[in-house]
A and B are shown apart, each in its own frame.
Chain A
Amino acid sequence: MSTDLEVFPPLRPAPPSEPQAAPPLPGAAVAPSYLTEPHGWASWLFTTDHKRIAILYMVTVTLFFFVGGAAATVIRLNLIAPQGSLVSAELYNKLFTAHGIVMVWFFLIPVIPTVLGNFVLPMMIGAKDLAFPRLNLLSWYVFTAGAVITLTAVLFGGVDSGWTFYPPFSTRSSYTYVVPAAVGIIVTGFSTIMTGLNFVITVHTLRAPGMTWGRLPIFVWSNYATSLIMLLATPVLAAVLALIAVERLAGIGIFDPSLGGDPILFQHLFWFYSHPAVYIMILPGMGVVTELVTCFSRKTLFGYKFVAAASICIAGFGFLVWGHHMFVAGQSLLASIAFSALSYLVAIPSAIKVFNWTATMFRGSIAFEAPMLYAVGFILLFTIGGMSGLFLAALAVDQHVHDTYFIIAHFHFIMVGGMVSAYFGGLHYWWPKMTGRLYSRPWSRLAALLIFAGFFLTFLPQFVLGYLGMPRRYHHYPPEFQVLNVLSSAGASILAVGYVLPFFYLFHSLRWGKPAGPNPWQATGLEWQTASPPPKHNFEQTPVITRGPYEYATGGTDHAR
């Protein structure tokens, strides 16, 4: 396999690096990398280094990704036959609940902020660490503890309410483990808040000299916007899940209509969190894609200020659209019209991003390395997912496709096609920085293409299924839907291969990969100005920033065209 490990072809030369961050003179003492110093298990488990904590998170969320993926595999296998080919209806309900809970709270929400954000955000702003390193470590323990509580409840007990915990499913069914699952999610929420708090304070207080707000990389802007949502939305989830738990324990109806409660009240509170949480899941992905598109197009980001402001706009609008999940739930028509109109507004900042990425690529010298393949895939899949979201924001169309496979396809295009692609893209982009090694170029590009093809085959038929009326969360279905379901399951098997492949070649690179050098992509970001893997405090000296983050064209020939 060593023949696969080609050196990346030379890209157009980047402008000269910051003079302050020049490599040390020969013979000067080089600080040891964060990976090697200090040694031992304890030094990892009690580390306060943001880079090591990122690695801890990476191991944990990767595990959860495969747990959630296993549940999805069983679901897709079961749906091959109309009567359900594998599991009982009861187990099926528990499986889609487990898939949703694990993927939403233990993979999608934490993955980019805690892995990629933790690793590169402080380096991108020229900081030595996050503002509260001990809080950062605590967040990993709290996250893991919450996840273990919930996973135990979900996998060994079973919850069948769906990840949304709608009452009366969640308050009346007596044989499920709603209370421990909810407690675990509340605990995980604390870790989300810790991460968000850390990012916000770090961006406010720890920027290096010269790192003005107008020079922050878009990845930092995205994570900043994400952190604001984490801080303001997560407490409401804690409140509403605590009320569900109290209702079950006390037997008093806050939400259960048969006990005098109001189930719509639950939906309002739940979606007040969970809709913004959708933006917690996608905004960091948008940040990653911005970094990839500029780097591999060798061009300055088109419309930096608009892309940065769009992140904040999406975070803000995200708090005003929760009612679009409740068009058929008995909400007043006036509220529905208002929420529908507000939901359309979200399309504006989202479209700004898509257009600006496209304009950035226009006439760029594009290198289709693996990270760029993921970025291009993101733009396409996110656009399809986003456009189908506009269908759902329309009151009349939503009446028809609400709670069908149309919505399943819609949010998987954004969450899997968008966010998971962005994570894989970011992982491939920063892997040489994290490990100091290059991975196999052909294998990585093959995996990206497999994921893209498998994804399309899995989720495109689901749009049709939903439009034809197949409801979500059903264990069996009428026989006329079988062809489309088999297509979808076949796609899922390709997708699974695509997701497992990186596992092998990335591990392979740790041992046999060629050394990456400080800046294998010739990128302009500050994180590339230090060694790969970086020393404990990131930079030999605190860098001084004198220009914007994406000046690929400076000194080049682009202007002469």
Chain B
Amino acid sequence: MPAEPPVLEPQFATAEQQRSASVLGMWVFLATEVLLFGGIITAFLATRVFYPHEFERAAGRLNVLIGGINTVVLLASGLGMALAVHAAQKGQRWATLTWLGLTALLGLGFLGLKGYEYFADWRDGLVPRTDGFDPGDVTPGRLTLFMLFYFVLTGLHAVHLSVGLGLVSWLAVRVMRGELPRAGATVAEVVGLYWHFVDVVWIILLPVLYLSGHHEAADLHF
């Protein structure tokens, strides 16, 4: 790979054509991502219709405190990314790098908290056993099914966030090489679109998974 990619690749006639292809490409890619998450969320919601009682019970045991804090952290990272894209388009190298750094830091913080939450789920007996749940009229197998969807959906989201962190680092390297405002700004725009999409997925997962159950004040702990 060359040290610095060419400004205009041979298949394009103008820089504007190249920029619009990149941005449209990311939008179309995000459409496929909507269908990917959409398929699994549909399966989850259909199963929730079959077993509303058990799923509500299980949702109530998720750690809504960590989930809530993580929501704030991720939304803040989205602000950082928006400011980074704005700075990149203005060609402000150091401002771009600063905001990208903040974005990545908050993204890492989200993943750290998420990892701790998985640990807490295990510690509190939600997975792989179900003895952490109140014994009662619920069927353990259906609680486990909820937890499976919880791990698949949040796990897939975490994978996407990790990819996003990789993209932010790659973008930062290109900004440091001095590719602003032209090629770098397009890359910033594309990476920004992806990052905001991952934010939006979380905004949907939070109510669907965490807020769809009844939480006691005593459960708000780390």
Q: Which residues of A contact B (CB under 8 A)?
A: 127-133, 193, 197, 200-201, 204-206, 231-236, 238-240, 242-243, 246, 250, 252-254, 259-262, 265, 268-269, 272, 537, 542
Interface string of B33-62 (1 = CB under 8 A from A): 101111110110011001100000000000
Determine if B31 is an interface residue (Cβ-Cβ < 8 Å). yes
From B29, B32, B144, residue with most partner A Cβ within 10 Å: B32
Interface size on B, residues (CB 8 A): 35
Q: List 16 A-B contacts (CB under 8 A).
A: A128-B11, A129-B10, A131-B21, A197-B25, A201-B21, A205-B20, A235-B36, A235-B39, A238-B39, A239-B37, A239-B43, A240-B43, A261-B145, A265-B43, A265-B47, A269-B39
- Tell me if B39 and A254 are in contact (CB < 8 A): no
- Tell me if A254 and B46 are in contact (CB < 8 A): no
Known: A205-B17, A265-B47. 18 other contacts (CB 8 A): A127-B11, A128-B11, A129-B10, A129-B11, A131-B11, A131-B25, A133-B11, A201-B21, A231-B28, A231-B31, A233-B35, A235-B38, A236-B38, A242-B40, A252-B141, A252-B145, A260-B139, A268-B46
Q: Which chain A positions have C-beta within 8 A of B28? A: 197, 200-201, 231
Determine if B148 is an interface residue (Cβ-Cβ < 8 Å). yes
By beta carbon, the residue of chain A nearest B148 is: A252
By beta carbon, the residue of chain A nearest B44 is: A254
B residues 99-149 in Cβ contact with A at 8 Å: 139, 141-142, 144-145, 148-149
Q: Which chain A positions have C-beta within 8 A of B13? A: 542
CB distance from A345 to the nearest CB of B (A): 22
Q: Which chain B positions have C-beta within 8 A of A254? A: 43, 47, 145, 148-149
- Tell me if B141 and A239 are in contact (CB < 8 A): no
Q: Which chain B positions have C-beta within 8 A of A127? A: 11
Determine if B152 is an interface residue (Cβ-Cβ < 8 Å). yes
- Tell me if A239 and B40 are in contact (CB < 8 A): yes
In the complex, A205→B139 CA distance in Å? Answer: 55
Q: Please provide the 5 A-B residue pairs with the shortest distance between their CB atoms, ordered closest to farther.
A: A239-B39, A235-B36, A129-B11, A235-B35, A236-B39
By beta carbon, the residue of chain B nearest A209 is: B13
Q: Which residues of B contact A (CB under 8 A)?
A: 9-13, 17, 20-21, 24-25, 28-29, 31-33, 35-40, 42-43, 46-47, 50-51, 139, 141-142, 144-145, 148-149, 152
By beta carbon, the residue of chain B nearest A133 is: B11
Q: Which chain A positions have C-beta within 8 A of B145? A: 252-254, 260-261
By beta carbon, the residue of chain B nearest A538 is: B11
- Tell me if B10 and A128 are in contact (CB < 8 A): yes
From A201, A231, A261, residue with most partner B Cβ within 10 Å: A201
In the complex, A115→B128 CA distance in Å? Answer: 47
- Tell me if A269 and B32 are in contact (CB < 8 A): no
From B11, B24, B29, B43, residue with most partner A Cβ within 10 Å: B11
CB distance from A224 to the nearest CB of B (A): 12
Contact of A243 among B33, B43, B144 (CB under 8 A): B43
In the complex, A336→B149 CA distance in Å? Answer: 29
In the complex, A268→B46 CA distance in Å? Answer: 11
By beta carbon, the residue of chain A nearest B155 is: A246
Contact of B21 among A205, A231, A272, A542 (CB under 8 A): A205
- Tell me if B11 and A130 are in contact (CB < 8 A): yes
- Tell me if B47 and A197 are in contact (CB < 8 A): no
By beta carbon, the residue of chain B nearest A231 is: B32
CB distance from A469 to the nearest CB of B (A): 34
In the complex, A130→B25 CA distance in Å? Answer: 12
By beta carbon, the residue of chain A nearest B31 is: A231
Q: Which chain B positions have C-beta within 8 A of A200? A: 28
With known contacts A235-B32, A542-B13, A269–B148 Cβ distance under 8 A: no
CB distance from B183 to the nearest CB of A (A): 15
CB distance from A263 to the nearest CB of B (A): 12
By beta carbon, the residue of chain B nearest A208 is: B13
In the complex, A204→B23 CA distance in Å? Answer: 12
CB distance from A83 to the nearest CB of B (A): 42
In the complex, A268→B9 CA distance in Å? Answer: 43
In the complex, A197→B148 CA distance in Å? Answer: 31
Q: Which chain A positions have C-beta within 8 A of B36? A: 235-236, 238-239
Q: Which chain B positions have C-beta within 8 A of A128? A: 10-11
By beta carbon, the residue of chain A nearest B152 is: A246
By beta carbon, the residue of chain A nearest B41 is: A239
In the complex, A150→B144 CA distance in Å? Answer: 30
Contact of A269 among B21, B33, B42 (CB under 8 A): B42
Q: Which chain B positions have C-beta within 8 A of A260? A: 51, 139, 141-142, 145
By beta carbon, the residue of chain A nearest B139 is: A260
- Tell me if A205 and B32 are in contact (CB < 8 A): no
- Tell me if A232 and B32 are in contact (CB < 8 A): yes
CB distance from A37 to the nearest CB of B (A): 15
In the complex, A239→B33 CA distance in Å? Answer: 10
- Tell me if B21 and A206 are in contact (CB < 8 A): yes
- Tell me if A205 and B24 are in contact (CB < 8 A): yes
In the complex, A542→B40 CA distance in Å? Answer: 45
In the complex, A487→B84 CA distance in Å? Answer: 69
